[in-house]
Amino acid sequence: MFAHRCTSCTQRQLIFPSQVTSLVNTDHGIIVAFTCWCGADQTMLTGKNAGTPAATPAPAREDAVAAA
Ligand SMILES: [Zn+2]
């Protein structure tokens, strides 16, 4: 479970594992695809490599992956 701000309804919502439609590992991190409560398809990049240089760890994001 993780929080996400939807690009469609602009609400910050809790996303549950049952809403996740796919998890794809890439060199840049893990692309999580899910359906918002409003019905919009959303994606989020997560994992330790997401959006940061390799030298900058982002440990808080790993918790989101473990919960999903
Ligand atoms: Zn939404």
DSSP at 14: E
What is the model's pLDDT at position 59? 54
Q: Ligand 1 centroid vs 1 CA: distance in angstroms?
A: 16
Q: Ligand 1 centroid vs 35 CA: distance in angstroms?
A: 8
Whether 17 has a pLDDT exceeding 80, the answer reads: yes
Cα 28 to Cα 4, 8, 48, 57: the distances in Å are 19, 24, 9, 13
What is the model's pLDDT at position 41? 97
Q: Ligand 1 centroid vs 11 CA: distance in angstroms?
A: 6
What is the model's pLDDT at position 49? 79
> In the block, which residue shows the tokens 């939807």?
6
19-65: pLDDT as tens digits: 999 999 999 999 999 999 999 999 999 988 776 655 445 555 555 55
> In the block, which residue shows the tokens 């918002």?
36
